[in-house]
Structure 1
Amino acid sequence: MDFRDVSLTALRVFRAVAEQGTFTAAAASLGYTQSAVSRQIAAIERAADAKLLDRRREGVRLTAAGHLVLRRAAVVLDEIDRTARELSGLPHESGAVRVGWLPSAGPVLLTRALAALRVSHPGITVTTREGSTPALVRALRTGSIDLALISSVPPFRPLDTESPPLVTHTLTERNLYLALPASHPLARGDYVDVADLRGQRWIAAPGAGEDRVMGVWPGLDERPDIAHTARDWLAKLHLVRAGCGLTTVPVALAGAAPEGVVVRPVRGGAQEQRRLLLARLPSPPQDATARVAEALRAAALETDLVP
């Protein structure tokens, strides 16, 4: 089989697998069956006459040949998508920018930037998608998004091991904060002592690994009492308001706290710093992408305030 005969469908499936990290997740994102995804990957590997993916228990990783094919596939698919947009009547000069964002960056920072862009650059079309930092880094590498709002925690290691490294700009670097009901005894002061967090009930994100305790103050010397789990930040904050428990919040979300919820710094123990990064591929960005990046940086300056 000649690689020139590879279909666009196979290229899209290959990019989705590389981005999602597993055949199952790629199938779900595309609306395909897992067997259909497997067939497309088998076809593209036959055409390349090379192994493009290493199958592992925890997922897949690109081989050297896989990285090469992915780079070329991203260029082809982006050109096809750009042509489709132009044919549908979108002005070429306006530009379309795809932004990936962490859930904590959406309620305040992202929405503020998008509102500003509607006034300053109404011709730019921005589409967005939510995801975790690892998923958004993969999406950048596969060319599925142009910019990503992602997080980094100490010791602030590189986002991935691929070369060349992604270009990052630190939007905010602040300590983690605590959200608690305004009626809670710990809400009376200007800060909360870490020792007073023992025995508290917590609202955390569901899932495995680090996500399992996201929302619980890091480093507590006890097994946390997780009363509720929720992925949505607004749901977490409303559970806090209802007196159901406490949860951690990045400073960017302080402005989204509903009435009846206060946000306080925590003192004592290690400082729990968090960076919010704006990341992109190392190639020079197009004008529209640069304008969106500027709007995100400006919004970060407005939201990076002590609650």
Structure 2
Amino acid sequence: MTFADASLTALRVFREVAERGTLTAAATALGYTQSAVSRQIAALERAAGTPLLERRHDGVRLTSAGRIVVRRAAGVLDQLDATARELAGLPGEQGTVRLGWFPTAGADLLPRALAALRRTHPAITVVSREGGTPALVRALRAGTLDLALVASAPPFRPPDTETPALALQTLAERSLRVAVPASHPLARREYIDVVDLRGRRWIAGSGDDRAMGVWPGLDERPEIAHTARDWLAKLHLVAAGCGITTVPGAIGAVVPPGVRVLAVRGGPGEQRRVLLAHLPGPLSDAAARVAAALREAALETDVTPATEGRPRSAASAGLFPDPA
């Protein structure tokens, strides 16, 4: 059996595994059993004559051969899907861009960019989906996303160690802040001293993002009163007086009533970057226009405590590729 004999089903399953990061998650997404997914992967590896996945306790990782296969498979499957649409009388995908985004990017940055894009380039269709940064990076590698808005925290390492390195552009760098109930004594201040965060009840993330929502570097074990995956649910819990949580600086304009967002002083600066990521190489015209709309929206919404309410310059907003 040669690789030319590999089935399209096996290629689709392999792409899903590469994107999801585990056989179980891929099986759930495809509606297959895990054993069926394992059989398809085994058949593909026999056809390739080499392992395509490295099995680890926390999921799977692509081998060098696996990265080649997923890159080529994505192109083949996309072409077949486009052919099927044309045969069915549907429009082609030349103006369609697949965009991924981390949760809080959907609060202001993404809607602002898409609204502007509809005004300036109405023929471009953006199909987007939310996800955590690791999942979005896997989707880029698997070829199921063209662009992804991902988050980065100090020390600002690349989002993965695969090769070739992803192309990254910093759209904004923002200070992490804390959301408190409007009725809380801390809300009467202009900012919060880091020492005043000790002994507080926190509303944190859930699952792999459990640490999100708790101020980094606290010199105590935080008391986590509630966990929630959705950032808006966290803010409504804050408004109800159930605890406090961290938020990126730019989210202050869209918080619900009963919440005040404050800067934190007295400790190490906690910065967060918004990055636009894609596979290396030139973007399609449509993807390049989407990227430009995201950059403009980031410039409009990016503010710092020293320039509250005023857009920063393109240079200070970091609209240039990271040197790494």
Match of 1:148 in 2: 148
Deviation at 1:305, TM superposition (A): 2.4
Match of 2:13 in 1: 13
Deviation at 1:5, TM superposition (A): 2.1
Rounded to whole Å, the distance in 2 between the matches of 1:30 and 1:256 is 35
1:94 to 1:70, Cα distance in 2 relative to 1, 3 A: closer
Match of 2:46 in 1: 46
Match of 1:222 in 2: 220
Seq. identity, %? 70
Deviation at 1:88, TM superposition (A): 4.6
Are residue 264 (structure 1) and residue 241 (structure 2) matched?
A: no
Match of 2:286 in 1: 288
Match of 1:138 in 2: 138
Matches within 5 A, 1:51-90: 51-90=51-90
Rounded to whole Å, the distance in 1 between the matches of 2:283 and 2:105 is 22
Deviation at 1:164, TM superposition (A): 2.2
Q: For residues 238-265 of structure 1, what are the alpha-carbon distances to aligned partners after superposition, in whole Å with 9 as ceiling and x for unaligned?
A: 1111111100001232222012211110
Rounded to whole Å, the distance in 2 between the matches of 1:90 and 1:249 is 42
The runs of 5 or more residues in structure 2 that have no matched partner are 309-324
Rounded to whole Å, the distance in 2 between the matches of 1:260 and 1:278 is 32
Deviation at 1:82, TM superposition (A): 2.7
Deviation at 1:89, TM superposition (A): 4.5
Deviation at 1:8, TM superposition (A): 1.5
Rounded to whole Å, the distance in 2 between the matches of 1:82 and 1:73 is 14
Q: For residues 99-143 of structure 1, what are the alpha-carbon distances to aligned partners after superposition, in whole Å with 9 as ceiling and x for unaligned?
A: 111001112111111122222211111111111111111111111
Deviation at 1:64, TM superposition (A): 1.9
TM score, norm. by length of structure 1: 0.95
Rounded to whole Å, the distance in 1 between the matches of 2:228 and 2:248 is 16
SS in 1 for 2:262: strand
Match of 2:246 in 1: 248
For the 8 Å contact 2:178–2:264, the answer to whether it is kept is yes
SS in 2 for 1:149: strand
Rounded to whole Å, the distance in 1 between the matches of 2:41 and 2:76 is 17
For the 8 Å contact 1:94–1:123, the answer to whether it is kept is no
For 1:274, give the aligned amino acid: R
Rounded to whole Å, the distance in 1 between the matches of 2:10 and 2:250 is 40
Rounded to whole Å, the distance in 2 between the matches of 1:44 and 1:252 is 46
For the 8 Å contact 1:51–1:65, the answer to whether it is kept is yes
Instruction: Find runs of 4+ consecutive structure 1 residues off by over 2 angstroms.
Output: 81-94
SS in 2 for 1:285: coil
TM score, norm. by length of structure 2: 0.90
Rounded to whole Å, the distance in 1 between the matches of 2:141 and 2:121 is 27
Are residue 103 (structure 1) and residue 71 (structure 2) matched?
A: no
Rounded to whole Å, the distance in 2 between the matches of 1:64 and 1:136 is 20
The runs of 5 or more residues in structure 1 that have no matched partner are none
For 2:270, give the aligned amino acid: E
Match of 1:162 in 2: 162
1:206 to 1:171, Cα distance in 2 relative to 1, 3 A: same
Aligned length: 305
Deviation at 1:149, TM superposition (A): 0.4
For 2:235, give the aligned amino acid: L
